[in-house]
Amino acid sequence: MVAGLTSAVHLEITGEPGIGKTWMLAEVTRTARGSGYTVLSGGAERSAADVELGPLIDAVDEHAAGLAEALPPQIRAALAEVFPSLPRDTGSPAPAGARRLAHAVRVLLETSTATRPLVLALDDLHLADARTVDLLCQLLRLPPRAPVLFAVAYRPKQASARLRRAFATAPALVRLPLQPLSLDQVRALADDSVSAAQCRELHRHSHGNPRYVAAILDPEGRAADATVVDELDELSANARLTAVAGSVLGDDFDLPEVTVAAGLPEADIYVAVDELVAVDLIRELAEPGRFAFRHPVVRHTIYRNARPGWRLGAQARAGRVPASELPRPRRPGLLTRLTDREQQVARLVGDGMTNREIAAALYVTEKTVEMHLSNVFGKLEVRNRVGVARLLHAESR
């Protein structure tokens, strides 16, 4: 695709958070540089989401300044309104309007390929501002008449519907939806201390996602912290509280549970849940009114980074759900369904301990605790840790 580029080509790299989109885009640009191409790279950022055309400015600004003298005055004037490194032409009024700006950028890219092909690589376009999306849609509809590889990466669940539609109809489109890692690929990421059986568990629990593989292998959980915490920081206060309340309840939860745990009015919970779904921190399950974090690592990260006092308050509120919302009574002696080790894990969960704390108390790995806890949920017919705690409380009465 990079080799022998003679006309405009569009490369769309998509996939789940952490699946490797940024790495793949970097590989494309590395290969292009090795082929002698001009490479312009930029990306959208949460911290600069209010900066119009930020990804394009990031990628093109310095390059455009170097080509200023080769551009027609009207084109140079239009670009100078956007790219700060370009000198403004006081004698030529800048043409206004999105279409004229798109035309100016198109001419700039065509001029840039006078001696060699060009790659324009833009990352994290799911965070792009509206004006960036508008310009990109116009460039996709009428691409440069030149050897330009337009390579982008984004999360489809969070990207603008307009951007997704524009790519779906773009000419000369190459789609690269990244898939989960295979077991062999996960094994290659793990060190020699990880056994074959543990690799199989690692592959299953990580869903083949490289970021989650790294997070599970990292005992401090640092691999996922920065990304998830950044996502949380961009949320409203109520959405953050709802996310933390959900993390207290488990990997999945329903609206009555999270309403009680969060201590927020029901109407506010609906708005907060919509916000969390929109940014793909949680996803709606098939069962009406029930939601799950996009991955257990996300839930653990939110839980671990929550303010301890508020988290304890949410746990206390979750334990005081009205009787009408408690699970149906079960016959006494239900814990006898569990093995001795599963009973130990269940009782420690009932004491409010995290998986890491349970692992330390029992001298086992967190993955072993997760395995036992999964068995506990199934055998006790509950969905989460709160359900285990309620059942233990009922059996102790």
Task: Please tell me whether residues 68 and 160 are part of one structural domain.
Answer: yes
186 within a domain of the structure (yes/no): no
- pLDDT, tens digit, 9 for 90 and up, residues 187-197: 998 888 888 88
Cα–Cα distance for residue pair 319/338, rounded to 1 Å: 22
- pLDDT, tens digit, 9 for 90 and up, residues 254-269: 999 999 999 999 999 9
Task: Please tell me whether residues 254 and 337 are part of one structural domain.
Answer: no
Q: Residue 229 belongs to a domain with what CATH number?
A: 1.10.10
Choose the weakest-confidence range: 5-14, 216-225, 243-252, 327-336: 327-336
Task: Please tell me whether residues 134 and 13 are part of one structural domain.
Answer: yes
Q: Residue 332 belongs to a domain with what CATH number?
A: 1.10.10.10
Task: Please tell me whether residues 153 and 240 are part of one structural domain.
Answer: no
230 within a domain of the structure (yes/no): yes
Task: Please tell me whether residues 165 and 36 are part of one structural domain.
Answer: yes
Average pLDDT, the chain: 86
Task: Please tell me whether residues 31 and 91 are part of one structural domain.
Answer: yes
Q: What is the mean pLDDT of residues 27-33?
A: 96
Choose the weakest-confidence range: 62-71, 140-149, 375-384: 375-384
Q: What are phi and psi of 263, to 5 degrees?
A: 70, 30
Residues 6+ away with beta carbon under 8 Å from 78: 94, 95, 100, 101, 103, 104
Looking at residue 103, its pLDDT comes to: 95
In terms of phi and psi (left: phi > 0; alpha: psi -120 to 50; beta: otherwise), the region of 53 is left
How many structural domains are present in the chain? 3
Task: Please tell me whether residues 60 and 24 are part of one structural domain.
Answer: yes
Q: What is the mean pLDDT of residues 315-328?
A: 54
Choose the weakest-confidence range: 23-27, 265-269, 282-286, 390-394: 390-394
Choose the weakest-confidence range: 67-81, 127-141, 307-321: 307-321
Predicted confidence (pLDDT) at residue 34 exceeds the cutoff of 80:
yes
Structural domain span for residue 21? 9-177
Looking at residue 92, its pLDDT comes to: 52
397 within a domain of the structure (yes/no): yes
Q: Identify the band that residue 30 occupies on the pLDDT scale cut at 50, 70 and 90.
A: very high
Looking at residue 3, its pLDDT comes to: 65
382 within a domain of the structure (yes/no): yes
CA proximity to 14, closest of 208, 155, 133 = 155
Task: Please tell me whether residues 37 and 145 are part of one structural domain.
Answer: yes
245 within a domain of the structure (yes/no): yes
Pairing of strands 282-284, 148-154: unpaired
Count CB atoms within 10 A of the CB of residue 320.
Answer: 8
Looking at residue 24, its pLDDT comes to: 97
Q: Identify the band that residue 331 occupies on the pLDDT scale cut at 50, 70 and 90.
A: very low
1 within a domain of the structure (yes/no): no
Looking at 325, 348, 367, the residue that finishes a domain is: 325
Cα–Cα distance for residue pair 1/9, rounded to 1 Å: 8
Predicted confidence (pLDDT) at residue 48 exceeds the cutoff of 80:
no
Task: Please tell me whether residues 392 and 256 are part of one structural domain.
Answer: no
Q: What is the mean pLDDT of residues 302-313?
A: 88
Task: Please tell me whether residues 23 and 155 are part of one structural domain.
Answer: yes
CA proximity to 141, closest of 109, 103, 177 = 103
Task: Please tell me whether residues 335 and 320 are part of one structural domain.
Answer: no
Q: Residue 146 belongs to a domain with what CATH number?
A: 3.40.50.300
Looking at 325, 359, 382, the residue that finishes a domain is: 325
Residue 365 burial class via C-beta count within 10 angstroms: exposed 0-12, middle 13-18, buried 19 and up: middle
